[in-house]
Amino acid sequence: MSSQAPSAQKYVLCCAGCGKKLSPATDRCPDCSDALLRTNYATKVFSPTDRRDVFRYLDWLPPEGSLETTVGPVVYRSEALATRLDLSRLYVGFNGYAPEIGARNPTGSFKDFEALPTLLRFREQGKEAIILASAGNTARAFAYAATILGFTACLVVPEAMLHKLWLPRKTSDAVRLVVLERSADYAEAIRLASLLSERFGIPAEGGARNVARRDGMGTVVLEHVRVTGHLPNHYVQAVGSGTGAIAAWEASMRLIASGAYAAALPKLHLVQNAPFTPIHDAWTTGRPIRPDEDVSGQLDRIRAIDADVLANRNPPFTVAGGVRDALRATDGCTYAVTNAEIASAQELFADAEKLPISPEAGAAVAALRQAALAGRIRRDESVLLNVTGNNDALLRRDYELHPVTPWLRIPPGEVSRRGIGRWADRFERQGTQPGWQD
Ligand SMILES: *Cc1c(COP(=O)(O)O)cnc(C)c1O
């Protein structure tokens, strides 16, 4: 692990609601409790180093230190898919695992960009444990990063996503996988994680509020600019929480503020999998997202989608600096695509680019196809297609995949302050160092 001399002021946080500058140790603006905070780095010039991993952008990532890793974005110019879609400047951000094109993200999705910067930042802040909820891919990325760093990570996952919890290496004891039994609901896992965090004093990872996570995801846009020399006109991504979309917007603003790039923000094209499309519905109808309305209907729709990583009932849509602001600022638009459209887009991509992609990335390709056909994206405009992940096909070819074994199983009836009380002995902690004891 390398670490630079700590600079007291690598960055400050800035409230997206009121613009107030806050110390890096803050979680929330004292005046706008819901608003997202953003990093404001001392270094304004875009100057990637010649490293090949995500830490080539360390100037614009929260941690001071870094480590040798294969994690990082890959952007290449598409020929075959571009031809099929009649686009002349299509760039693919391939953020999974495909060593044939230099992509070596160990858990196969862009969640790998979030996990290392987050854990390094927590450690630099004196925290040695973290808790987070996940629909699968985030837990996998954090399990890997926690294993590499020997950092205690408590990962709360609905049982229906358990099959996604594998790693291309053995998991260390630092990983504490908590399974919410008989559940497919990410929102309920979030609730359980927040109860456990509060009751047992385990620092929460923060989700969309976590700046290390957002700045890690934003490196896809930085990589595009490093490779092409300009910001894309369009950015296409499948969203569940929309954190990656907010991150793409923020990275673009940072590049524009550097003074070296044209002032037009990339237009966000955000896609969800019908019939579960809360962000698309809220954006196109103007009605607010109601995570607690008709929950059983929502769960039925969640069970019906193939891109299940996108199943977030409570995305940061209306908060200052959230998804709605990102769509407004970029004159963005949203899409709803069916399982059949996703499957056909996955096939199209695999056939054209010779690489398998996940259903979520398939959703992005399906939206790109619609946008190109409808003339929303014109032939000569530049596009960054975020292939956010490609699941396990190529990892399975190259590695033995090890399942992460559950550390604790919690029945659905116990997701309450009282219910979790009976697990107190398991979470008995000794301050925050080194996490808590078994
Ligand atoms: C998390 C994830 C998404 C959605 O990302 P958000 O921007 O957080 O909504 C899309 N695709 C894959 C493969 C993911 O893992």
Residue 389 Cα, ligand 1 centroid: separation in angstroms?
Answer: 8
Sign of CA dihedral 43, 46, 49, 55: positive
Write out the H or E segment, with its range, that includes residue 75.
Answer: strand 75-77
Residues in the ligand 1 pocket, defined by CB under 6 Å: 109, 111, 137, 238-245, 309-310, 358, 360, 388-389
Residue 111 Cα, ligand 1 centroid: separation in angstroms?
Answer: 7
pLDDT in tens, 282-296: 999 999 999 999 999
**For 132-149, what is the mean pLDDT?**
94
Pocket test for ligand 1, best of 137, 213, 327, 391 (most atoms within 8 A of CB): 137
The CA-to-CA distance between both ends of the chain, in Å, stands at: 27
Tell me which residue has tokens 């044209």.
262
CB atoms within 10 A of CB 386: 29
Task: Give the CA angle between residues 207, 212, 214 to the nearest 5°.
Answer: 65
Pocket test for ligand 1, best of 95, 107, 110 (most atoms within 8 A of CB): 110
| CA–CA separation, 78 and 202 (whole Å) | 44
**Does a cis peptide bond (omega within 30 degrees of 0) precede residue 434?**
yes
Q: What is the pTM of this model?
A: 0.95
Residue 220 Cα, ligand 1 centroid: separation in angstroms?
Answer: 13
Residue 109 Cα, ligand 1 centroid: separation in angstroms?
Answer: 8
273: phi then psi, degrees, rounded to nearest 5: -100, 110
Do residues 408 and 176 lie in contact, with contact meaning Cβ atoms separated by under 8 Å?
A: yes
pLDDT of residue 432: 44
| CA–CA separation, 320 and 310 (whole Å) | 22
What is the atom index within ligand 1 of the atom nearest the CA of 135?
A: 1
> How much of the chain, in percent, has pLDDT values that exceed 90?
87
pLDDT of residue 429: 52
Ligand 1: which residue has its CA nearest to atom 15?
137
Please, what is the average pLDDT of the chain?
Answer: 93
Residue 244 Cα, ligand 1 centroid: separation in angstroms?
Answer: 7
pLDDT of residue 431: 41
What is the atom index within ligand 1 of the atom nearest the CA of 312?
A: 9
pLDDT at 3 over 90: no
Q: pLDDT band for position 8 (50/70/90)?
A: low
What is the atom index within ligand 1 of the atom nearest the CA of 315?
A: 9
Residue 361 Cα, ligand 1 centroid: separation in angstroms?
Answer: 9
pLDDT of residue 258: 95
CB atoms within 10 A of CB 32: 18
Tell me which residue has tokens 């994680």.
193
Distances (CA, A) of 404 to 111, 162, 389, 426: 17, 9, 19, 18
Residue 405 Cα, ligand 1 centroid: separation in angstroms?
Answer: 23
Sign of CA dihedral 72, 113, 220, 187: positive
pLDDT of residue 77: 98
What is the atom index within ligand 1 of the atom nearest the CA of 244?
A: 7
Q: How many residues does the chain have?
A: 438
| CA–CA separation, 333 and 346 (whole Å) | 22
pLDDT in tens, 218-269: 999 999 999 999 999 999 999 999 999 999 999 999 999 999 898 899 999 9
| CA–CA separation, 47 and 39 (whole Å) | 17
User: Could you give the dihedral angle defined by the CA atoms of residues 342, 344, 349 and 352, in that order, rounded to the nearest 10 degrees?
Assistant: -170
What is the atom index within ligand 1 of the atom nearest the CA of 110?
A: 15
**For 7-14, what is the mean pLDDT?**
86
Residue 430 Cα, ligand 1 centroid: separation in angstroms?
Answer: 34
Tell me which residue has tokens 């444990």.
129
Q: Which is it for strands 103-104 and 89-94: parallel, antiparallel or unpaired?
A: unpaired
Ligand 1: which residue has its CA nearest to atom 8?
243
pLDDT at 436 over 80: no
Pocket test for ligand 1, best of 210, 239, 268 (most atoms within 8 A of CB): 239
**Sequence-ordered list of residues with C-beta below 8 angstroms from that of 410, at least 6 positions apart, any chain:** 178, 179, 180, 181, 192, 419, 420, 423
Task: Give the CA angle between residues 61, 332, 214 to the nearest 5°.
Answer: 15
pLDDT in tens, 56-68: 999 999 999 999 9
Residue 240 Cα, ligand 1 centroid: separation in angstroms?
Answer: 6
pLDDT of residue 374: 96
More confident residue, 187 or 323: 323
pLDDT of residue 9: 87
Task: Tell me the two tokens of residue 75.
Answer: 């952007």
> How much of the chain, in percent, has pLDDT values that exceed 70?
96
Residue 239 Cα, ligand 1 centroid: separation in angstroms?
Answer: 5
Residue 47 Cα, ligand 1 centroid: separation in angstroms?
Answer: 27
Task: Tell me the two tokens of residue 380.
Answer: 């000569």
Query: Mind giving me the DSSP string for 144-213?
Result: HHHHHHT-EEEEEEEGGGGGG-EESSPPPTTEEEEEETT---HHHHHHHHHHHHHHHTPPB--GGG-HHH
pLDDT at 437 over 60: no
C-alpha gyration radius of the chain: 20
Ligand 1: which residue has its CA nearest to atom 12?
388
Query: Mind giving me the DSSP string for 201-241?
Result: TPPB--GGG-HHHHHHHTHHHHHHHHHHSS--SEEEEE-SS
What is the atom index within ligand 1 of the atom nearest the CA of 247?
A: 7
pLDDT in tens, 295-311: 999 999 999 999 999 99
